Structure 1
Amino acid sequence: MKNSHASILTMILVLVFAVPHVFAEVEWKIDTTFSLSETPLDTAASSNGKWIFILTDAGKINIYTVQGAHRETIDVGTDVDKIRTGSDPNIIYLQSRKKKTVEVLVLDFIMDFDLTGSPVKGPVDAPVTIVEFSDFQCAYCSRMTGQIDQILKNNPKTVKVVYKHFPLSSHHYAVKAAMASMAANEDGKFWDFHDQLFKNYNHLNDQKVEEIAQSLKFDKDEFNKRRNNPKLLEQIKRDYRQGIEAGVRGTPTLFVNGKMVRDRSVKGVQKMIDSALKKQKKP
């Protein structure tokens, strides 16, 4: 038996080492050069692939786009000697051997969203804009509708809400529901349809959508034709791409005047609204 095992092992080794090596030729080039006035100590990239962070010996982090455009400089102090990034593209970990510390630096990137064609609720000229990325089959998004209504009620003249579609791949009817809502938007009934979809978020299907359309007095044939328009799907895809570029990972995700909301409670959002209004009052 031992001789048999030894023979098998020998055959395996012969087969392994008999396989010819495959050599891959590597082509390379310097894609981007970041010119600095200080000595670089460490670099890191954001998890979404949008930003390059360079720590210098002057205790500063320079933020660049991957194309090499400088966007911001943050003074973190000369005690910081290493930087690291994680799964959240808005967080940098600052390591200091001298102080024996790791600090968490949270970045607030101000996003400039294209709002063309997106449904709006509230005064069009409101100084504060809340952009909501949402999914009609998301339970958390369904709960957010009441909070959004409360926020608008508390800020009737200063806040508007813009709805952006971010259908999750795990929700198989989310895209169809989004297209139906945008078909309703063409008749100015997006928000009515929106409310009904969220009331039924956990059992959405073609039949339920047709029931909602009928309750809102849509012609069945015309509505079905409209909600299957490929142009609506393109807009939903644009919304989704904007969300990905802005660092949206799940739903609901809110932005107040371009800044991502981390505390989605009514109190937390109100704090950001007040801060945005205060900034606009400064000379």
Structure 2
Amino acid sequence: MKYKQCLAACAILLLSFSTSSALAAADASGPSKVQLQVGKTWKLPAKPLDMVYSLDGKKVFILTKQNQVLVYKADGALLGKIDVEKGVSAIDIAPRGEKLFLINQNNNSFTDLSVDFAVNIDISGSPYVGQENAPVTIAIFTDFECAFCGKAVPLLEQVLENNPETVKIVFKNMPLNFHKFAVPAAHAALAAEKQGKFLEFHDELFAISPKLSPEDINGIAIKLGLDIAKFTKDMNSPAIKQQLAKDIKDAEDAGVTGTPTIFVNGIKVKKRSLSAIQNLIDGEIAQKAK
């Protein structure tokens, strides 16, 4: 009996498959039902040869016949131009566009280029140390429960000590969702700024990070001699919450995906070392001197 049931089941499956295949073939031969909608179009200054999108959808790289790669934002705003050798006929990129790969048919070569884009970071109203009008601005996005952020503090202190007249360090917040007290700590540090104690509060938080609690935050406020009533009111004010929301939005716009992330005049620091940051600073100063 079971054998017959098995045969019947197999027959049903075969019939189902045949029917599905026939329907698919019928659909394929029927009229097209594809709907098209133009998302964006922009004119190019030269004949395009190849193009590629970054996987995050934020950048478009277009190789032109004029031996250039034009880099656009997804909305068509031009980010920059990269000159390439004659004969480059195909391009590709790393996932976020941080590397550009070139194929040259003239000399049968492959080239791997690192690509850096300077981003505009709004630092208005953000706490800072250093000369207000310094030619080089270092912006750092941090999370007060991030252990690596705490390790970046002495590094930037050394950078400022080595460049007292040319560098300003601006502090931006990017509390990560999985850190329970990162948002209250950011609110607290910004509230302390209202009483001129941001840097001291910042340093105290990182001295005990990543294990933070409401009691720790209040204890730091008392230790620093803050007006507790004003501190508590400011910490919970809409203005402070809006300032933190702005920092988070600025981080998103700058492509920040983790903490700490450091920028030197809008150029992302890839290697967090004293020499690497100093090289970027020296390059920016040399560029401004031209």
* TM-score bucket (shorter structure): 0.7 to 0.9
Q: Distance in 2 between matches of 1:234 and 1:47?
A: 31
Q: CA contact under 8 A between 2:86 and 2:106: conserved in structure 1?
A: no
Stretch deviating more after TM superposition (54-63 or 114-123): 54-63
Superposition pairs of residues 96-111 of structure 1, within 5 angstroms: 96=104, 99=107, 101-111=109-119
Q: Which residue of 2 aligns with 1:116?
A: 124
Report deviation, 1:11: 5.7
Q: Which residue of 2 aligns with 1:167?
A: 175
Letter of the 2:218 counterpart:
E
Q: Distance in 2 between matches of 1:81 and 1:194?
A: 51
The answer as to 2:90 corresponding to 1:82 is yes
Stretch deviating more after TM superposition (148-157 or 171-180): 171-180
Q: Distance in 2 between matches of 1:166 and 1:269?
A: 21
Q: Distance in 2 between matches of 1:190 and 1:181?
A: 6
Q: Distance in 1 between matches of 2:70 and 2:226?
A: 54
Letter of the 2:124 counterpart:
T
Q: Which residue of 1 aligns with 2:150?
A: 142
Q: Which residue of 1 aligns with 2:64?
A: 56
| TM, length-normalised to structure 2 | 0.86
Letter of the 2:121 counterpart:
F
Aligned-pair identity in percent equals 35
Task: Classify the secondary structure of the residue corresponding to 1:178.
Answer: helix
Stretch deviating more after TM superposition (134-143 or 72-81): 72-81
The answer as to 2:265 corresponding to 1:257 is yes
Report deviation, 1:180: 0.9
Report deviation, 1:200: 1.2
Stretch deviating more after TM superposition (76-85 or 244-253): 76-85
Q: Which residue of 2 aligns with 1:236?
A: 244
Q: Which residue of the other structure, out of 82, 93, 100, is the alignment partner of 1:92?
A: 100
Q: Which residue of the other structure, out of 134, 159, 171, is the alignment partner of 1:126?
A: 134
Q: Which residue of 1 aligns with 2:220?
A: 212
Report deviation, 1:262: 1.4
Q: How many pairs align?
A: 281
Q: CA contact under 8 A between 2:195 and 2:226: conserved in structure 1?
A: no
Summarize deviations over 1:180-233 as a string: whole Å, max 9, x none.
111111111110010011111121111111111111122444423321223322
Report deviation, 1:120: 0.8
Letter of the 2:133 counterpart:
D
Unaligned ranges ≥5, structure 2: none
Query: Which has the higher Rg, Structure 1 or Structure 2?
Result: 2
Stretch deviating more after TM superposition (74-83 or 98-107): 98-107
Q: Distance in 1 between matches of 2:33 and 2:245?
A: 38
Q: CA contact under 8 A between 1:177 and 1:209: conserved in structure 2?
A: yes
